[in-house]
């Protein structure tokens, strides 16, 4: 495996891009989740983030839960150990638009529940004030 960064454009004819990669695509999976629109929905996503080294990212209009973890068949050379019998999702994945030269920048990226909750507070309408939160009005006394 080459240590020199290889651009897609410079890839020699007949070479496989994976020979120059560290297998980013095999080191996590991401599941699309519904875009949160309410405090309850944001709170559910906050709950996900409280359960491990997970993150949530937004790419365009789509929200994803990212679960880190190397595929159990990823070999030391960053290649697939079950290439001939790999799952269909892996077979469908191509290097045409893979993450090889992706900078990993998303529209939004949340690594902690606190980051997500701060964002939720910024984008959601404020909660109505409860009566207990209202200042107490004292009667005006007349001098007399």
pLDDT at 95: 85
pLDDT at 49: 97
Sheet holding 55-59, edge to edge: 28-33, 62-68, 55-59, 108-110
- The band of 119, judged by pLDDT with boundaries at 50, 70 and 90, is very high
Chain mean pLDDT for the chain: 89
Q: Is 118 helix (H, G, I), strand (E, B) or coil?
A: helix
28-87 pLDDT, tens digit each: 999 999 999 999 999 999 999 999 999 999 999 999 999 999 999 999 999 999 999 999
| Torsion of the alpha carbons at 33, 96, 26 and 19, rounded to the nearest 10 | -170
* Spacing of C-alpha 46 from chain mean position: 13
pLDDT at 2: 46
- The band of 132, judged by pLDDT with boundaries at 50, 70 and 90, is low
Residue 45 contacts residue 124 (beta carbons within 8 Å):
no
Most confident of 7-11, 60-64, 130-134: 60-64
């Amino acid at each position: 495996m080459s240590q020199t960064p290889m651009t897609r454009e410079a890839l020699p004819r007949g070479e496989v891009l994976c020979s120059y990669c560290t297998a980013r695509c095999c080191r996590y999976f991401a599941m699309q989740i519904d875009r949160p629109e309410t405090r309850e929905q944001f709170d559910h996503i906050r709950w996900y983030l409280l359960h491990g080294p997970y993150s949530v990212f937004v790419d365009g209009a789509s929200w994803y839960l990212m679960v880190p973890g190397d595929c159990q068949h990823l070999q030391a050379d960053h290649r697939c150990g079950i290439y001939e019998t790999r799952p269909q999702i892996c077979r469908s994945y191509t290097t045409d638009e893979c993450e090889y030269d992706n900078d990993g920048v998303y529209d939004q990226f949340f690594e902690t529940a606190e980051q997500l909750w701060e964002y939720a507070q910024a984008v959601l309408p404020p909660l109505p004030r409860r009566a207990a939160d209202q200042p107490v009005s004292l009667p005006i006394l007349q001098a007399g």
